[in-house]
Amino acid sequence: MGQRLASPSTASTPSAPRPPCASEMSKAVVYTGADPSEFDEEGEPIGEWEDDEDVTDVTVADGVTEIKEDAFHGCKGLTNLSFLKGSAITTVGTSAFSRSGINALLGIEDVRKIGTCAFSRCKDLRTIEGLGCEEMGECCFAHCTLLQSMKGWPASMTVIPGACFWHCTGMTTVDCDLSHVTSIGLDEDGDHVFIGCTLLLPPSLSAWNADPAAVLTYLKEKSHKERAPGLRYAIYASVRRARDQEDEPRTLWCSPTLLAFALAKLPPDMNRVILEFAHGVVVVR
């Protein structure tokens, strides 16, 4: 008897290849800060882990102080910079994390220099806090479209570099003190820092030809209005603790303008509390 053929409805078909799971795609690497050994067609150096989308965890080798140019450019699997905390890194180079999967900039207070385009086009970046840098290149956070708030601008930086937040279309608030900022930079085409931030600025100020001084004035006023309620609550809460629980004095830091605005709105029963103010410091007793 001849071999019976399976009917089309019961014939077996090759199973589709199983996609790799997350653990199979993850990669832990040690960053050594080595000089690039490969170069592209134009002679530009290729970063140590550039465009390696499997990199998820990084350990910085002892003694390394700089994340070099393009080191983790395009590393989509790298979502945070927790590996920088406690390391000796003080410099993040040009495009070091551009187009990566970074979703938050936290714990980088010890980084003193951030290079041009260091975090540009990080499409998942939502939070920036704890910036302690003294120098920053242009376009650092340009095209980070999910970034919603500008937080913790460094006290040592009086100028916001050109195109720093260029086309951060999701930005809506300025949750930081800008009283020490004297100007916002212009890029090589003469365009200001917040071009295209249409949810942060009115149309006349987010346009290409907007006056940078007018943009800065608007943002300072916006910052004062957005932060004052929080500051008033912080002062009020500290006063109540000190008065009702004999707590230790607490120091709050803020700008003179914002402090004056907040104190003017405090409840009447706060007049029994001593507030000492000098150079942006209020001591609540």
Condensed to tens digits (0 to 9), the pLDDT of residues 29-73 reads 889 887 766 666 666 666 778 899 999 989 898 999 999 999 999
Q: Which residue has the higher pLDDT, 78 or 275?
A: 78
Give the residue-averaged pLDDT of 11-21: 47
The answer on pLDDT for 226 being more than 60 is yes
- The band of 151, judged by pLDDT with boundaries at 50, 70 and 90, is confident
Place of tokens 């806090």: 129
The answer to whether residue 210 sits within a structural domain is no
Q: Which residues pair with 27 in a beta bridge?
A: 55
The answer to whether residue 271 sits within a structural domain is yes
- The band of 232, judged by pLDDT with boundaries at 50, 70 and 90, is low
How far apart are alpha carbons 222 and 284 in whole angstroms? Answer: 26
How far apart are alpha carbons 100 and 118 in whole angstroms? Answer: 10
Give the residue-averaged pLDDT of 143-170: 91
Do the Cβ atoms of 114 and 98 come closer than 8 Å? no
The answer to whether residue 256 sits within a structural domain is yes
How far apart are alpha carbons 95 and 68 in whole angstroms? Answer: 9
Q: Which residue has the higher pLDDT, 96 or 129?
A: 96
Global pTM reads 0.71
User: C-alpha angle 68/69/70, rounded to 5°?
Assistant: 115
Element spanning 222, H or E: helix 212-245
Q: What is residue 33's predicted lDDT score, i.e. its pLDDT?
A: 86
Q: pLDDT, tens digit, for every residue of 179-219?
A: 889 999 887 777 789 999 999 999 999 988 899 999 999 99
The answer to whether residue 272 sits within a structural domain is yes
Q: What is residue 18's predicted lDDT score, i.e. its pLDDT?
A: 46
How far apart are alpha carbons 216 and 240 in whole angstroms? Answer: 36
How many structural domains are present in the chain? 1
3-class SS of residue 216: helix
The answer to whether residue 33 sits within a structural domain is no
How far apart are alpha carbons 104 and 97 in whole angstroms? Answer: 12
Strands 135-136 and 113-114: parallel
- The band of 278, judged by pLDDT with boundaries at 50, 70 and 90, is very low
How far apart are alpha carbons 104 and 47 in whole angstroms? Answer: 22
The radius of gyration of the chain from alpha carbons, rounded to an integer in Å, stands at 25
Residue type, 101: G
The answer on pLDDT for 284 being more than 50 is no
How far apart are alpha carbons 254 and 273 in whole angstroms? Answer: 18
Query: Which tokens hold the place of 19?
Result: 């996609």
Q: Which residues contact 193 (CB under 8 A, 6 or more apart)?
A: 160, 161, 162, 163, 164, 165, 166, 184, 185, 212, 215
Do the Cβ atoms of 48 and 73 come closer than 8 Å? no
Residue type, 19: P
The answer on pLDDT for 22 being more than 80 is no
- How many whole angstroms from its chain centre is CA 34? 26
The answer to whether residue 80 sits within a structural domain is no
Q: What is the mean pLDDT of the chain?
A: 77
- The band of 23, judged by pLDDT with boundaries at 50, 70 and 90, is very low
The answer to whether residue 201 sits within a structural domain is no
The answer to whether residue 257 sits within a structural domain is yes
By the 10 Å C-beta count (0-12 exposed, 13-18 middle, 19+ buried), 278 is classed as: exposed
The pLDDT > 90 percentage for the chain reads 39
- The band of 122, judged by pLDDT with boundaries at 50, 70 and 90, is very high
Provide the domain limits for residue 250.
227-284
By the 10 Å C-beta count (0-12 exposed, 13-18 middle, 19+ buried), 57 is classed as: middle
Give the residue-averaged pLDDT of 171-182: 88
Residue type, 282: V
